[in-house]
Each structure stands twice: as C-alpha cells, then as structure tokens.
Structure 1
Amino acid sequence: MTEKPMPPSQLRPTSSRRRRPLWGGWRRGIRRMITPPGRLLWLGAFLCCALSLMAGGMPVARAAAAPLGSGESCATSTTGAVIVTAECLDATYADAVIESEEDVTSPTTLHIVRGYFEGASSRFAVYLPPAGQWQGRFFQYTYPLTDENAADETILFGVNSGGYTVQASGSSGYRHAAAAAKVSREIAASYYGDDGRHIYGYLYGPSGGSFQTVGAVENTTGVWDGFVPTVMGTPVSIPNNFFIRAMGRLVLGDVRQQISGAVLNGSDPYAGLNDAQTLMLEEMTALGVQLEGWEDPDYLLGYSFDDGLLGYVAMVKRMDPTYADDFWNESGYLGTEDSPLGEVVRAALVDTTLSVTAVERDGAGSPAALMTEGFPAGALDEGLDMQVLDNDGAPVGELVGTLDATTGRIHLDEGSDAAALAALAEGTQIAADNRWSIAVRSYYRHQLPPQEEGFTVYYRFYDDAGEPLYPQRQSRIAGMMASSISGGATYSGLFQGKVILVSNLQDVDAYTWHAPWYVERVRSAQGDAGVDERLRIYVNENADHLEGPVTGEKSTRIVSYDPMVQRALRDLAAWVEDGVEPPVSTAYRIEDGQVVLPSTAAERAGVQPVVTLAADTTTAEVGQPVRFEVSADMPASAGEVVRIDWEFTGTGDYVEAMQTSEENVRASVEHVFAEPGAYWVTVRATSAAPENSDSFAQVQNLARVRVVVRETGGQSDPTPMSTPSATDAAPTPLATRPAVQSASTIAPSTAVTASTTVPGAAVSATPTPSAASGSAKTLARTGVSAVALMAGAVSVLALGALLVARRRA
C-alpha cells in the first residue's frame, strides 16, 4: 500500500455532523460516504434536508441501514455463545448506520467516524489518524457500560503505535465489539484506499472488560488477531471475591491497621490475632487475597465504598431467596456453626425496632431523613434492611437508607416504597435487621466450583473424598455472572490467535492467581506447545486493580499498570504481524493461594524491572546523611531501564535522579532529613522496550525502605521497618493444595555500565548479568455452567457500582 498523508487543506470542518446509512452494498456504501466525492455529495444532501426542515417543519426521514456481513448467520455454540467470524451476519448488529464524520486536531489530527447499530443500543466510534501514521492495525478497548468515546490516552497510544482506535458501547459480551471491529475495517479500507490489505486488530479490556475479552478470545475467529485480558475475572470471581473481603471486614476490621503494619514491616501478620481473626486471615489469604494488598487495608476490606458489598446482596436475595433463612437456622452455615467464626457472625446480628422521633422533609414535602432511637449501642449499622410497620406491627413497605448509629439519623435514598414513605411520622416503628448482609459474606463457601475446573484455592472446602464440607446452593451464581458478562465464555482455553494476560500482585479485586489459572486452562486444552505459541502472562509486582495514572501518596507504593498493557499490545502486534517472539512470561509459583515472584530479574522474566532498595541505616538523626542504594535489573530481552526517580517525603513528589539506557543499573544517593519523623523513601525505575522512542509502554516498578529520623541525641526506633520484597514467601499457616511449578530458562543478558550525578548527591551505576525463567502450574479443564438471564441482568447493575471504581479519581 502507498500511504497517503492527508494535507491540512483537505481537513473538513468539525461541525460536519450527519447520520448516514451504509447502503448500496456494504463496501461500496462505505466508500461513497468517505471518499472526497462522496463527502461532497452527502454534505449537499445534508444541507438540502436541513433547509427543507427549517422551511417546512417536516421531519427528515432516515434511510434504511445496510446489512453488515455476507448474509450467512453466525453460528451458536452448544453452550449458547454466538460464534462470530469475519464473514458471518450477527442479526442483532446486522445494520450499521454512520451518523457523523469530523476532522479534529485534538488530542491529535484525526478523522472520527461515529455510528450505531440499527435496533440495538450499541454505538461505535472509529478514530483514524492520517495515512502517513497508520501501519495497518487497530486497537480496541472494551469494558461494560463504557460508551464509544475513547479517552485521549487511548487514542494517542493507538496513533503512536501505528493504529487507529475503535470503541463501542455495550454492557456485556463481545458481539457489539465484534460488529464495531468489522465496521471499522470497512471504514479504514475505504478511508486509506486499500481494499486488499489485511487490517490487524487487537482487543483488550480490564476487570469486567476482561470477561468480554475472554468471550471474544474463545468465540470469535478472524475478527481480531490478538487479545490482552487485563486484571482478569474468572467463573468464581463475582460476587465471591467481594464477599470474601466483606467477611474479612466483619472479622478483621478492628485489627486492619495492625495487619497492615505487620505486612509492611515484613513481620508475622498473624501475631496478636485471636482465634477467629487468625482463621479469617488464613481463609482470605488461602483464597487468594494477596498479603501485599494489606498495604491499603481500607480499600481491601471495602471501607472505600459506600456499600462494601457493591449491591450484590440484592442479587443473591433475588436469585436465592431462601439463603438467609437457611444460613441462620440450618446446620453447616456459620449462622449456626459452633466455632470462633460462628460466634463472631452471631454477635454481629442486628434484629431490632427503631422509633421515629422526627421526620425531615425536602422542599417538596417528601421525607428526606429521619431521627430515630432504639438502635443497640455498639451494634453494626452496615447493611441494614428496614421495614416500616403499621400500628399492628405488620410491614407497610421497605425503607431504603443509611443509618448513622451514633446519632440515630437515617438518610433516605431512592427506592423506598411509596407506602412506607407515606406512613412516616413521629412515633412510627421501623424494623431493622442485617440478616442478609451478614449471611451473604460467607456465600462463597456454598457455591463451590467443581474440583475438575481446577480452582485449587477452593479445594480447602472439600473433604478427602471430594465432597463439599458445607451445604451447596442450587444456583452457582458466580458462574452465571461470568457467562453473562463474557457473552457465554466457558473459559475452555481453546482459541485461535494470540493472547497476553496482564495480572497485578496487589490486586485485591481480581485476584492475582486468576490469570495463572487461565494459563493452565490453555495448557490443558492446547498443551505446552499451544501455550508457547499462543500465550504469555506479564505480572506487575507493585500494581493494583485501578486503571489510570497513580498520583500523590499512593504513587510511593503503587505503579500504574497501563504501561504494561500498552507494552503487551505492542509485543502482541509484533508477534502476530512479524513473528517476533515476545519476552518470556513472568515466572511465579503459587503457595497457599499467594502468587510469589522470584527475587531476581534473571529468574522472574516478564517485562518489568526488578527493583531493590537498601539504606545504610533505618534510624538516623536530623542532619545525618543516609545513603540509599538501588538495584534495577531488566529481564533478558525485555528492554532497558531509562530513568531512576527518588521520593523522600511520602507525598509522591518524585525527583528525577538519573536517565540511562542500560539493562542493569546500580545507583546510590545520600539524603539528609531536616525534620524528625518516620519516612518511607521510594525509588522508582522506568523501563522501555528496545527501540521504544515515545512515552507509552514504559513499564515501571518501585521499592521502598522506612527510615525513622529522631532529634539529635534521641532514642533509636526499637523496631525499624523496611519494605518486604513481594517475592518473600507469604506466611500462611493453613495449607491448601498448591500447584507444582515447572521452569524454563533463557540466555543471560550482556553486562553494561553507566554513571551519572544528581544535584546534591552522587549516583553511580554498575552492571550485573541476568537470565530469566518461566513457570507454570498444572490444573484441570472443564466447562462452565450456562448463562442465566436473571444473573445477566443483575450483573450489569452490579458492574455499574464497579464502574466508578475501575479508574482512579
């Protein structure tokens, strides 16, 4: 193809918005609308219609949309998933309508085409860079409830990576995204003037978007060429992961700072816990809540959300309405179990009656808040169900709101029954209980995945004969949720194309072991050769679940995982298009639910620098120089360290100390603290792939050490703290059945030397050789239960609660 740069003189004004059908044959219709003659014809038609509308007040009729596809309907799998190919016709998204085109210069020079699918709620947008910047590929982001408006960063990454960007709205599944991808290829072929060229496509999505991406991985062919599921969920993730953490909040909330301090100090997090707390921390840890996640205990335990259960209580109520009664009355549940955890659960139960002392009304006269009395002192006010009672004690209707137990004030939210609101007056009685809120927290014990599916962390809930230790509910909600959000994926491990998984060690939403579990699904389905030929996994050591840049204090302990996703997409494109093998997968082992990384870059592999930091003392006096030494090593063939930054205040105010271009960096710096206090000192290393010349895909890692500074002549800190390595084996006394690790190695890298200086401090760098290894576990393969429509509907509502939390504020 001869690339055709678009001169500025050919840019159309940004106000040229219009809706267009794809007609006269799919390819011919697209070409007529996007080539310059077609643009003029359609602009004239648009102006004529607009003038007619203004003059006569008559509505403008919309032309019929043209079908998308060859006419042969897409097939359906035995599990109900629609198998989308490049040629088949998906009836739900058969008719695409171009609504507008515009040329813009922000965030860069782009031609943007917007449209929708007739009869469906999905909209799409295609962001096309000038021909001189396009290299024959596109990148497509997906996430439930995201609209078609791509973020500037997403668009700029695509342009800098030689691709255009596609984005479509759609709450679940992959079919809307597939239809948008197919539309975009036709648009691009016409716009760039090359009908014969294969346009490579890459789909990626985090969290809920990982479900959609895996659905596309396993149920499409020829639509995309590669995929990057990120911080991925599994058929046991929703709602189990959130219930596990909510159960932890119930039992461990009062000691969360103690546990966090122990994790940061590298000491035993179980020290000082009572029996129930020890059992709960063991259970959470063995199920995959990484101990590293305790660096942010409020987020881990759900205190960062208004509703730490994220609306999932209502889902279980609807799908399993007898569960709470069984929990509090039948054997085998914590509500009746004679155990330390059972005692905590029963002690947390609230079942009381409140009396209204005052009703606060809004400007329209509707109740907005209540003052009440009668709530037990010290009782848990989280997750209360409230019913307004009549004079005979019979329920009138549900009241939705939040009680402040310290004041007795109930703030009313939307959703209360009209009859309940109408009955509110001074003296009205309100029944309040938390039976459901407490009961659902251990629901994960009662919907176990079959052992043959390979979820080894759940083996702890089976006896030696393979029978569940606890009563099992009829509906396996987690599997239904995964099937619904993914569009019917069975997580079989069978697919065409290539996949790079991205997982994060401090992710307490999508547990770190999820991606390794899928690696073994692929291994079971396709063998070692299939894994080597089609799959990689990159693990971030100091990253969590949230997208976007990391700023402020959090940046002293967390790095953004966006650059690793960008790196994975570029590695994927080179792998698919040019046969360039990506770096070896990150090596890991799983010990009692904890993913543990090797301590050196040679052993760890992947694409992230391995960073260590040491101080010549962890206690110092004001004015005393403290020397810090950093080692930053890249895995073999993964690129170079390009920058070292230091942070001494704990506020995220980094100072760039060194720019370099070496695989292995050793540097030291001295710092003088002017005030007494406890300081976390952080060093952050930024890396880049070979020949990477822009700011994207620069994977970072960091290390920290704590220094206690006292007044001159003051006493030493009796327990100096340093940051434990994420590679340290996790102290988990309660054993599960860990997977077996296998390994492979790659050749050592070449040693290099570099040096530089920082204002006020000397920094030097010296080389060390490195090598890398991969690792794996062995799991079983099986299918997943079929989709349930009710689970699908509720899953979309629940994902709405997560939507605001998926990106950083």
Structure 2
Amino acid sequence: MNTTDALNVETYQGRDGYFGPPYIDQDEWMEKPIPHRRVHGGFADTDTRFTCYFPTEDVYHGRLIQPMEGAHAGHEDAFGGPMGQLLGGLELTARLGGYMVESNAGHIGDDVDHRAGDDPTLYGHRSHAEAAHVSKHLAEQVYGRRPHHAYVWGGSGGGRRSPLCLENAPDVYDGALPFMGGGEIAEHGTTALMKGAQVMAFASMFNVQRLLRREMGSVIDAMRPGGSGDPYAGLDTHQREELANLYRLGYPRGDEFMIFSPMGQIWLWSSIADRLAEQDSDYFTAFWNRPGYVGHDQPDAVAADLIDTRATVTRIVTPRILLEDSAYAGPEFAGMRVMAGLTAAGPDFPIAIEVEGAGSGYRLGVGITILTGEATGRQLYCTGHVGGLLQGDGVAEANLQRFTGVRVGDEVALDNRKFLAFCYYYRHHLMDDSSFDFLRLDGVPIYPQHTVPTMSPLMGVAYSGQYEGKLLWVHHTHDASLWPPQGTIYETAVRRAQGAEGAATKFRLRWTENAEHVPPQYAPSAPDRATTTWLIDYLPVIEQSLVDLIAWVENGVEPVGTRYGYHDGKVSLPTAAAERGGIQPVVAVTANGAIRAEIAAGDAVRLTATVEVPPNAGTLVALDWDFEGTGEFPLHHDLEPGQTAAEVTTVHTYPRPGTYYATARVASHRNGDTSDPYRRIPNLASARIVVR
C-alpha cells in the first residue's frame, strides 16, 4: 500500500465536463478511528469537495463505499467525524472491505454552487458520481488496483440522493442502499426541480403539534400498548379533523410521542420558508383574507397563537452553554440539548438566543428578523424553544451564520403569520400521490388550490426507478420524519420503469419495525418511559443489509424483502415471522395473558415474550427485560444456541402504584454468533401494567 508517495491527479480523466481539474489540498496519515490515509480535495471552478479515507491494505477488499449525508448535505467530512459514527463511519466501511469517499454534494453549507445555481442534477447525483470517479483514480495509486465494485448508501437526505446516483451514473455504481428516503416519480433524465409531499406532510404535523399541545398526553396514552386505541377522545371538532388528516397522510400510528417532541423536522420549514413565500406569495395572503381558508373563515383557530412583535436579545447561546449550563439542565430542554450535541459547526457556534418581550403566542416556526446590530436584516426561523430561549436556522448565508454577530441588546422582529398559514398548507397544495386522495371528491379538490411548490435544488431531481445494478431499500415503521408511505414510492417507480420482472431481479424493500429517524439514544425520552423501551437502534439492520447488498451484487445471493399491507395511510406488517419475511425478529409481549394487566401494588404479574426469527435470517442471540421503563434492561435470559423461536416467561412484582410498560428486547444474528457485537438485529415489544 502506498502511504507516502504523492498522488497524481493530473492524469485524471473526468466523466462530467462541468467539473474543472481535481486538486488535493490535504493528504495525511491518521490513526483514528482506524489507521487510514485521508485525502481531501475538490474540483476547480466548482464548490464540489471530496474526502477519501483509505484504510490499510489488509482491510481493502476491492470495494468503494460511499455514504451520503442527510438533510441538504453540504459537508464532505460528515461520516469521517463524530456525526458519522452514529451510522458506523469509517469502521463500518472497513468491515465491509472497502475504502470510503464522501462528497459535499456540490455545495458548501446550505448554499448553492456559485456557477450551477439551482441545477438539481449537480446536487442530487453528478457531484457524488464525480467524487466517486476520482476516488477510483486515487485508489489505484494507493492500493495498486481500482475497486471492482462501488456502492452508495445513505439515510434521510442521503436516502433521497443515493438512488439518483445509481440511476444516473451506471458507469460508477453497482449497488445502492437508501433508507428513510422519499420523493416524487418522473421520467428518467429529468432535470426539473422536485416536488415534495414531505413539505405538505410536515405542515399537517406542525399543525397537530400546535392544536393538540395541551391534549398531547391523552393522545399519546391512547396509542401506546394497552391504551384505548382512540386518540380522538376529548378533542374538539377541529382538533379531530386535523389529527385524522395527519394519519391519512401517513403519520405512523404508535409514534405520537414524537409529534409533540419533534427532532429535526422543523429544519425543513426553516430551510424552505423563504422559498415558499417567494414561489407562492398569493397563498400566504389568501390564507388570511379569502373564503375557503382557515385564517379567514375560522380565525379563532389561529388567533390565540399569533405573534407579531419586537423583542430584545438578553443572551447568546451556544451548544456548549446548552450542554453545560445548569440553567438548561431540565427535561424541557432535552430535545434542544440533543440537537445542540449534533451541531457540526462546533461547540461555540451561536445557535440560539434568549429574548425578552416575545409575548404569549406560538413560538415554534416563528420568523426571527434581526433588526439592529451587525447582523441586521438576517432572516431566521425558530426551530426549537423553551420560554424565551429561541433556537434558529435559515437558508444559505443565514444557515451558515445563525446568530453570529448578534449581541445582547439587539432587537429582533418576531412574526409567525407565515408559519400559521403553513400549518394548513397541505389542504391547498395537493400532490398526485394517492395519500392526498381524501382531500378530493370525485377527483375535485375540496379546498382552493395553489401550485405545488418545488423543493430546494439541493434535494436533487425526482426518482425514475430506471437503473442497472441492484437496489435494496430499507424503511422504518415509526419514522416521524419520512413516514412509512414514503417507503412505498420507490417500489412504485421501479415497477413503472422496469415492470414486475425488473423489480423482482433488481429491487427489494425491507421494513424495520419500531425504528425512528434517529437512533433512540438521540431522541428525547418520555417522563415515564425511556425511548429505548419502544424504539430500536436500526444501525445493525443497515449494516446487515449492506452485507446482503454486496452478496447480491457480487455473488447473486438474492436478499429477502418484507411483506406488508398499505391502507388509509398506514403500513401494516404481518404478525407471523414466516409470513412477514425480512431479517428482523418478530416479538410480542403479554402481561397475565393480555396486552394490559391491572393489579394491586405488591402483586406479581406473569410476563411472556413470544419471539420468532424469519426464515434464513439467523437465530436468536439475546432476550432482555425492562420492567419499569428505565431503559436499563436488567434481566437477561440465556437462550439455547440455534433457536429460531422462543417463548420466555418471567414474573415481576410492582411494589408501587403507577403505570408501567414491561418490555422485552430481542436480537438475532445471521450466523448465531453471540459474541459478535455487530449485525445483532433488534426488535422489541411491550405490555402495559396498571398498578393500583
């Protein structure tokens, strides 16, 4: 392996004429997280940057592995840093026998390329493919041979873009594994900006957050295990209407806690608010002034939440302050602390302000315009708040700067009229997607309509479903950011473009039950129940699926998909493992034989976990119990080697009154290796115990 000689990029033959000659500005040996040669560079006359990570010769088995950053991307070192470790980072790449290359998706931060402007093909696939192509040129010099296969994968925004790479760069990639993706379908070769159902879906979710924030406890309780199953009890007509619409659009049942404890979804509003207002200014006026819109027809539905005022900045807040200052240690700040810990710009980057004089209206999504001082004129939007603490984000320069230059004493304008109008946006911008059909009667929209907006060009173009190679799609049943119906879209695209035969030979869809958009350790917990007792870490599923994708591409070993049903915006999985398929164990828990048990304090309850592993998915390697929602899982059951099914019973006594969720967490492994810390495929289930 060449670890010291200078790399030659002058002989590189580009594949896309837009990109100038490549350059290398960093070439260094790194010992962590594993020994590797790190090479950073870019292409002249563009904003496209890349980073290659070349592990040692014994690790390299001839594969290029290209992960893709989520959201709008814009960073070429996401997977090489702490953020990337959430999804395995370079160590995962090494276990797959490859080297890693990252692209910044052709742009820096949240801004567009200085020459390409709004060209979505650059950000969606061309920049990634060119970075992968030059990495092969460098790998040949480092290892003495080019990679024999190349794979692209990613979640969220990375799940949005990775199929585009396979579709549009067949000379570069052999396989793709998108997860938590979604988007629109169009003809192959489109260069148009994409329309996004996610914009309308999030509008509905933000509205339910707002309207039901005082009733959230009863809604969450109704949909938990052993609950009533009726989330509408106690709601008024308008609240019922909006919650039902949210479900019809596909919000995952059973994940209601995340409606009211949002993570990064509000980022989408902050990144597109200015664009929406520019593209469709008529809607934001009509909402307040014309019949057919809630703002005009039902002003009481929004009046109490209005904010239109000036406020004074009393403190500038950074991630370090949020994480270390005891003033922000309370549980109400948990979500903001999580997001602060994920800030890529560093611990001293100003992400929030405290203000005085904000009034009593609804603060999430409120526009924050800096009126005085060095940052005068900057437009941000509130992405998180507690009291007078407002976290903010914006687009382009505002995204890069946030509250940089803002000082104590500066004044800001707070105005949420745009956001309140956006809460009903989904009614007036219908997609062709069938999930919007309930808002039509005989094909005619119920509400006045406006042109469906286009997404940011940074999200790339629409899917076509036309590609060579293989694609294994993984989607989650409890994702509050990319809802389950989004997982059905690409299958539709492949069937349209390649027919049933093409889909059977080139496409698989796997569902991960009980997985959210982020691993549970990065999601806020409920006061009475740790997040890890109802959500799983999906990384083992992704790693096993990458292994299966490689086996499919290189050895023709077909991966198994998951069977599912889809009705009324709801994805349902069969309850029997053999019928469901996939690779995840299926588990059910009962308390005294039912999903809910009511007992007296001091009485024992009989808890039973029934577990099955789907055919050819391995054997059980772990079963652990958590009785009180702490997330500690203190009771471990020893399982007999080679078991593919088990029924395990234990008895537990609850000495104090309260409501508890007894949870069994299980894991399977393809090879039944109990000592292997990787690719342990998890699932869990709970029963409710009410102690009187």
Q: Could you say what the CA RMSD is over the residues aligned between the two structures, in angstroms?
A: 3.8
Helix, strand or coil for the counterpart of 2:275? helix
1:681 aligned to which of 658, 662, 674: 662
CA-CA distance at 1:524 after TM superposition = 1.8
Whether contact under 8 Å (2:485, 2:570) holds in the other structure is: yes
* Change over 3 Å in CA distance of 1:121–1:413 after alignment to 2: closer
CA pair 487-382 structure 1, distance change in 2 beyond 3 A: closer
Matches within 5 A, 1:48-127: 67-69=12-14, 89-127=15-53
Match of 1:328 among 284, 288, 291: 288
- Where in structure 2 are the equivalents of 1:289-368 lying within 5 Å? 289-300=251-262, 309-337=269-297, 342=298, 344-348=300-304, 350=306
Secondary structure of the residue aligned to 1:496 is coil
1:559-578 superposed matches below 5 A: 559-578=536-555
Give the equivalent residue in structure 2 for 1:145. Answer: 74
Shift of 1:307: 7.4
Task: Please state whether the residue corresponding to 1:332 is helix, strand or coil.
Answer: coil
- Return the index of the structure with the highest Cα Rg: 1
Which letter maps to 1:288? G
- 2:498 matched to 1:487? no
Name the SS for the 2:622 alignment partner: strand
- Residue 686 of structure 1 contacts residue 701 of structure 1 at CA under 8 Å; is this kept in 2? yes
Work out which of the residue numbers 140, 143, 160 in structure 2 matches 1:189.
140
Q: Corresponding residue for 2:323?
A: none
Q: Give TM-score scaled by structure 1 length.
A: 0.66
1:216-295 alignment runs, 5 A limit: 216-235=165-184, 236-264=196-224, 265-295=227-257
State which drifts further: 99-108 or 572-581.
99-108
Deviates most, 506-515 or 552-561: 552-561
2:651 corresponds in structure 1 to 670
Deviations 1:192-239 (A, max 9, x none): 3336xx611110111111221122132111211111111012132342
**Could you tell me how far apart the structure 2 residues matched to 1:597 and 1:324 are?**
40
* Structure 2 CA distance for aligned equivalents of residues 403 and 142 of structure 1: 24
1:646 paired residue among 611, 625, 628: 625
* Matched position secondary structure for 1:174: helix
Distance 1:135 1:403 in 2: 43
Which AA in structure 1 matches 2:67?
Y
CA gap of 1:162–1:246, structure 2 versus 1, over 3 A, is: same
Distance 1:409 1:515, change over 3 A: closer
- Counterpart CA distance in 2 for 1:700 and 1:409 is 37
- Indicate if the aligned counterparts of 1:214 and 1:486 stay in contact, CA closer than 8 A: no
Q: Separation in 2 of the partners of 1:353 and 1:104?
A: 52
- The answer on whether the counterparts of 1:371 and 1:409 sit within 8 Å (CA) in structure 2 is no
Is the 2:202–2:265 Cα contact (8 Å) retained in structure 1?
no
- Secondary structure of the residue aligned to 1:135 is coil
Please say if residues 641 and 687 of structure 1, whose CA atoms lie closer than 8 Å, have aligned partners that are also in contact.
yes
Tell me what 1:208 maps to: 157
Structure 1 residue 527, shift from structure 2 partner: 1.3
CA gap of 1:685–1:130, structure 2 versus 1, over 3 A, is: same
Partner Cα separation in structure 1 for residue 631 and residue 540 of structure 2? 19
Partner secondary structure for residue 646 of structure 1: strand
Uncovered stretches (5+) of structure 1, i.e. residues with no partner = 1-5, 26-66, 70-88, 363-367, 390-395, 710-715, 717-809
Tell me the secondary structure at the aligned position of residue 145 of structure 1.
Answer: coil
CA contact (8 A) 1:101 1:113 kept: yes
Change beyond 3 A, Cα 1:661–1:19: same
Displacement of 1:542 after TM fit?
Answer: 0.3
How many residues were matched structurally?
A: 596
Kindly provide the CA deviation profile for residues 549-594 of structure 1, in whole angstroms up to 9, marking residues without a partner as x: 56872111111121211121111110010000111x2111112101
Q: Is the 8 A contact 2:22 2:43 kept in 1?
A: yes
CA gap of 1:371–1:413, structure 2 versus 1, over 3 A, is farther
**DSSP-derived class of the 2:47 partner:** coil
Q: Separation in 2 of the partners of 1:413 and 1:190? A: 42
Tell me how far apart the structure 1 counterparts of residues 269 and 276 of structure 2 sit (CA, whole Å).
11
Q: Counterpart of 1:291 in 2: which secondary structure?
A: coil
Contact 2:619–2:672 (8 Å) recurs in 1: no
CA contact (8 A) 1:290 1:506 kept: yes
Q: 1:19 to 1:95 in 2, by over 3 A?
A: farther
Tell me the equivalent position of 2:62. Answer: 136
CA shift in 2, pair 1:329/1:128, >3 Å: same
**Contact 1:402/1:411 (CA < 8 Å) preserved in 2?**
yes
Corresponding position of 2:95 = 160
Aligned partner of 1:608 in structure 2 is 584
Taking a change above 3 Å as real, the CA distance of residues 670 and 473 of structure 1, as seen in their structure-2 partners, is same
Is the CA contact 1:141–1:167 (under 8 Å) kept in the aligned structure 2?
Answer: yes
TM-score, normalised via structure 2 length = 0.77
Listed as ranges, the matches of 1:489-638 within 5 Å are 490-547=462-519, 553-583=530-560, 585-616=561-592, 618-638=597-617
The equivalences for 1:301-450 within 5 A come to 309-337=269-297, 342=298, 344-348=300-304, 350=306, 371-372=356-357, 375=359, 379-384=361-366, 433-449=415-431
Contact 2:210 2:362 in 1 (8 A): no
Deviations, residues 665-714 of structure 1 (Å, cap 9, x unaligned): 222223334544332221111122247784333221101112234xxxxx
Cα gap change, 1:615/1:439 in structure 2, threshold over 3 Å: closer, same or farther? same
Cα distance change, pair 295–93 in 1 and its aligned pair in 2 (3 A): same
Structure 2: which amino acid aligns with 1:651?
T
Partner AA of 1:190 in structure 2:
Q
Provide the secondary structure at the position in 1 that maps to 2:172: coil
Structure 1 266/157 Cα, relative in aligned 2: closer, same or farther at 3 Å? Answer: farther
- Any stretches of 5+ residues in structure 2 without a counterpart? 108-122, 185-195, 317-352
Instruction: Give the secondary-structure state (helix, strand or coil) at the position aligned to 2:202.
Output: helix
Q: d(CA) in 2 for partners of 1:444 and 1:512?
A: 18
Cα distance in 1 for residues equivalent to 2:59 and 2:385: 60
**Residue 621 of structure 2 contacts residue 672 of structure 2 at CA under 8 Å; is this kept in 1?**
no
- Give CA-to-partner distance per residue, 1:269-325, whole Å, 9 cap, x none: 12222111111111000001112221434225x7x8887943543332232223221
**How many percent identity over aligned positions?**
28
CA deviations on 1:345-399 (whole Å, 9 max, x unpaired) are: 3434637667x8x89699xxxxx977549x5xx644555558899xxxxxx9899
Maintained 8 Å contact 2:642/2:672: no
Q: For the residues of structure 1 that align with 2:7 and 2:144, how far apart are their CA atoms? A: 20
